[in-house]
């Protein structure tokens, strides 16, 4: 199963430079890296990134991180995957730049 992380350009650049990251500012505050499932991704984009541009979508295979993932209740009572260690480049299956369409960010296929 894939989980997804959204980064602003500076956050993605830092991860590429360092090979891992403790996440975005909200991740640092909460003490874990927030991830979203494919079903949760549109809501995450709308709630937290609606006005942002040049976002990077990172797809991560949860099996690679399974020992460090906790499914915890969040928005709307849904269970979200939270990563309790740094996110590493080796966790990423693929990444792409998100485009903005008339209805918001377009993710493309999430396979």
Question: Per-residue pLDDT for 111 more than 80?
Answer: no
Tens digit of pLDDT for each residue in 100-109? 888 788 888 8
Buried b / exposed e over 17-35, threshold 16 CB at 10 Å, is eeeebbbbeebeeeebbbb
Longest distance between any two alpha carbons in the chain, whole Å: 39
Average pLDDT along the chain: 93
Residue 71 located in a structural domain: yes
Q: Is residue 43 in some structural domain?
A: yes
Assess if residue 10 is contained within a domain: yes
- State how far the Cα of 4 lies from the Cα of 91, in Å rounded to an integer: 11
Could you report the per-residue pLDDT of 64-92, keeping only the tens digit for each?
Answer: 999 999 999 988 888 999 999 999 999 99
Residue 9's pLDDT is what?
96
How many domains would you assign to the chain? 1
pLDDT the model gives residue 105? 83
List, in order, residues 6 or more apart from 27 with CB less than 8 Å away.
Answer: 33, 34
Residue range(s) defining the domain that contains residue 68: 2-103
Q: Is residue 26 assigned to a domain?
A: yes
pTM over 0.85: yes
Classify residue 92: in a domain, yes or no. Answer: yes
Question: Could you tell me the CATH number of the domain that includes residue 22?
Answer: 3.20.170.20
């Amino acid at each position: 199963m894939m989980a997804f992380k959204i980064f602003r350009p500076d956050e993605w650049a830092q991860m590429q430079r360092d090979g891992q990251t403790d996440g975005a500012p909200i991740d640092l505050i909460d003490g874990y890296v927030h991830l979203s499932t494919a079903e949760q991704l549109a809501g995450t984009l709308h709630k937290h990134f609606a006005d942002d541009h040049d976002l990077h979508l990172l797809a991560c295979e949860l099996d690679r991180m399974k020992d460090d993932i906790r499914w915890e209740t969040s928005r709307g009572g849904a269970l979200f995957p939270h990563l309790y260690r740094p996110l590493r480049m080796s966790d990423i299956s693929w990444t792409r730049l998100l485009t903005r369409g008339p209805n918001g960010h377009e993710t493309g296929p999430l396979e």
